[in-house]
Each structure stands twice: as C-alpha cells, then as structure tokens.
C-alpha cells in the first residue's frame, strides 16, 4: 500500500511540474508577462537630466579663446613683372610690361590696441621685409590693407596699423620677466600660411631668457624666450601667451639643426614682451 501511495505522489508531482513548465512557456502566462515587463522597462529606461550646462574648466582653452580673435595672418605682397612680345611683318617687336602683386610670404601678427578706428599690430620684421603692400586676414576671414608704422631689424620687430572696424579684439601683454622654466605657454599663428590660421600649439618655457648669437638669428645677437611649443614657418609674428591669455612673447624663430647639421626638435624662440613693449613705445605714432 505504501508503495502504491509513493507512485501516485510521484505521478501527481510530475504532472504538476509539467503543467508549471508548460504554463510558463505560454506568451500570456504570468511568468512571461513579468519577464517582458522587466525587459521593456529596462529597454525604455528613465534618465534624470541635470539642469546645469557643461562649462569647460580647461585653462588653455580659456586662454586661447581670449586671444584668438586678436591674431591675424600677415601677407607680404610683392610686385612681379610680366612681359609679352610679338612680331609681325610690319613690326618686328613690341614689349608690354606690367606689374601685379603676389603673395611672397605669410606670417602672423597680434593686435595689441584698437584706437580711433585703427587696429595696431605687432609682428616680425622679417615677415614684412621687402613688401610692396601688406594684407591682413582676420580670424573670421576678412581681408584688410595694412601699413608699416616702423621696424627694427636688429630686434626683428615691426609695428603695423590698419584702418578697420572688422577687428574688435585686442590682446594684452603679460610680465615676461616673471616667466619660469617649466611654465606652460601657448603659441598661436598661421603655420604654413592662412590655410592654418589661428592654429594653437602648447608647450613649456624651456628657458625664460636665452641669448642667441648673430649666426643663430641670421642678423644680430638677441635675447629670446626658449620654448618647446611648436613654431613653424608662418607662426612668426604670432603671440606666445600664458594661461591667463596674456602675450608674453612674439614668436620669431626656431632652430631645426645645429651648426654641424645635427637635427633638433622643440627649440623655438619668442621675443620677450618687455622688449616688444619698449619697441612699441619708441615706434608708435
């Protein structure tokens, strides 16, 4: 009798288990509904959005944004002569000569003052040397004619001015005498020309004051800030700034190789702001 009871219990248990499994597999079963509800909830989800907008705390970006619209591309325009000749049965020769302006080179400059409808720009002397005319290209792409106020080839500095209302931002100078080795600096300019205008590179002050020989500068001995921020052709005349967005130097040159031909990297130079300010004071009219 016990044996039969156990068999009956086992059969009943099996039937119940089968019913539960079968029911659980049905789409409308309580088990399936519970699972589907959970998945649907996870799929849709709910998100709590903070009502605070993201604000960048990157000091380099802030410094760059403060100065970028004061940086211009300086185009050195020079006259080129073209001639044409022809001959005929009735006239052996005729020469027609004319001159037109072409961009001989491009550099950078920074607006340091806006006054009485004029923007005043500082750049390198070698950027404007031998020019017949000068053209500025602003950060927004506007083209403006500029004239030379004064130059100093020994310091490689030039002061320009342009009558315009398109330039609305000017940069301020910082104290270059307080620079320290290891301090972060940023170089802004147009490396390889206006196609790469307002490009930014970053680095540190490698040496706050370095004396360059006449052989190294190609003109005369000078004092410069040494930096490893990338300075390429076209960067000349652009600003070297600190993280406060103040101009601490005017980018002027780099050493790509030593006198014996050894290649070097990260040796750029900028004219210290105090030397630039003295030049401006003595030159501005």
pLDDT (tens digit per residue) in 93-147? 444 445 799 999 999 999 999 999 999 999 999 999 999 999 999 999 999 999 9
- pLDDT (tens digit, 9 = 90+) per residue, 263-273? 888 899 999 99
Total domains, the chain: 2
CA of 278: how far to CAs of 62, 132, 152, 245, 281, in Å?
28, 27, 12, 20, 5
Lowest mean pLDDT among 25-29, 70-74, 209-213: 25-29
Write down the pTM of the prediction: 0.74
For residue 77, pLDDT beyond 80 = yes
Tell whether 6 is covered by a domain.
no
Q: Say whether both 202 and 122 belong to one domain.
A: no
- pLDDT (tens digit, 9 = 90+) per residue, 193-213? 999 999 999 999 999 999 988
Q: Say whether both 159 and 243 belong to one domain.
A: no
Last residue of a domain, one of 114, 132, 163: 163
Q: Say whether both 199 and 263 belong to one domain.
A: yes
Tell whether 9 is covered by a domain.
no
Tell whether 4 is covered by a domain.
no
Residue 126 annotated as catalytic: yes
Token code pair at residue 157: 């500095």
Catalytic residue (choose from 156, 190, 199, 206): 156
Catalytic residue (choose from 105, 236, 252, 253): 236
Pair 176, 198: CB distance under 8 Å: no
Tell whether 223 is covered by a domain.
yes
Q: Say whether both 193 and 130 belong to one domain.
A: no
Distance (Å, whole) CA 124 – CA 77:
15
Tell me, what DSSP letter sits at residue 242?
A: -
Residue 156 annotated as catalytic: yes
Q: Say whether both 147 and 182 belong to one domain.
A: no
Residue 236 annotated as catalytic: yes
Tell whether 274 is covered by a domain.
yes
Last residue of a domain, one of 130, 163, 196: 163
Tell whether 133 is covered by a domain.
yes
Please write down the long-range contacts of 114-120, taking CB distance under 8 Å and 24 or more positions apart: 114/167, 114/168, 114/170, 117/163, 117/164, 117/165, 118/161, 118/162, 118/163, 118/164, 119/144, 119/161, 119/162, 119/164, 119/167, 119/170, 120/149, 120/159, 120/160, 120/161, 120/284
Write out the H or E segment, with its range, that includes residue 204: strand 199-212
For residue 43, pLDDT beyond 70 = no
Tell whether 220 is covered by a domain.
yes
Last residue of a domain, one of 116, 133, 163: 163
Pair 204, 181: CB distance under 8 Å: yes
Distance (Å, whole) CA 5 – CA 8:
5
| Residue 188 CB partners (closer than 8 Å, separation 6+) | 64, 67, 68, 71, 108, 110, 198, 199, 200, 238, 239, 241
Instruction: Provide the residue range defining the domain that includes 111.
Output: 65-82+95-163
Catalytic residue (choose from 105, 108, 126, 253): 126
Q: Say whether both 121 and 210 belong to one domain.
A: no
Give the SS3 label for residue 95. strand
The values of phi and psi at residue 194, to 5°, are -65, -20
Give the SS3 label for residue 106. strand
CATH code of the domain covering residue 73: 2.40.10.10
Give the SS3 label for residue 238. coil
Tell whether 73 is covered by a domain.
yes
- Classify residue 170 by burial, with Cβ atoms within 10 Å: 0-12, 13-18, 19+: middle
Q: Say whether both 196 and 137 belong to one domain.
A: no
């Amino acid at each position: 009798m016990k044996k039969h009871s156990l068999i009956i219990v086992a059969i009943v248990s099996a039937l119940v288990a089968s019913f539960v499994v079968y029911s659980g597999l049905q789409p409308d079963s309580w088990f399936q509904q519970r699972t589907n509800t959970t998945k649907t909830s996870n799929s849709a989800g709910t998100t709590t959005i903070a009502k605070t907008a993201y604000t960048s705390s990157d000091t380099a970006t802030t410094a760059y944004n403060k100065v970028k619209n004061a940086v211009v591309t300086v185009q050195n325009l020079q006259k080129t002569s073209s001639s044409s000749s022809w001959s005929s049965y009735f006239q052996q020769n005729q020469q027609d000569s004319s001159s037109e302006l072409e961009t001989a080179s491009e550099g950078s400059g920074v607006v340091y003052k806006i006054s009485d409808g004029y923007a005043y720009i500082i750049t390198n002397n070698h950027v404007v040397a031998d020019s017949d005319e000068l053209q500025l290209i602003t950060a927004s792409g506007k083209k403006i004619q500029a004239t030379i106020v004064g130059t100093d080839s020994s310091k490689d500095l030039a002061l320009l001015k342009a009558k315009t209302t398109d330039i609305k931002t000017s940069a301020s100078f910082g104290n270059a005498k307080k620079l320290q080795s290891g301090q972060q600096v940023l170089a802004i300019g147009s490396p390889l020309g206006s196609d790469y205008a307002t490009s930014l590179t970053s680095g540190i002050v490698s040496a706050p004051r370095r004396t360059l020989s006449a052989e190294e500068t190609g003109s005369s001995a000078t004092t410069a800030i040494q930096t490893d921020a990338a300075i390429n052709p076209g960067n000349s005349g652009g600003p070297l700034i600190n993280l406060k967005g103040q101009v601490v130097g005017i980018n002027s040159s780099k050493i790509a190789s030593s006198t014996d031909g050894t290649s070097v990297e990260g040796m750029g130079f900028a004219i210290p702001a105090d030397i630039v300010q003295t030049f401006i004071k003595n030159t501005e009219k």
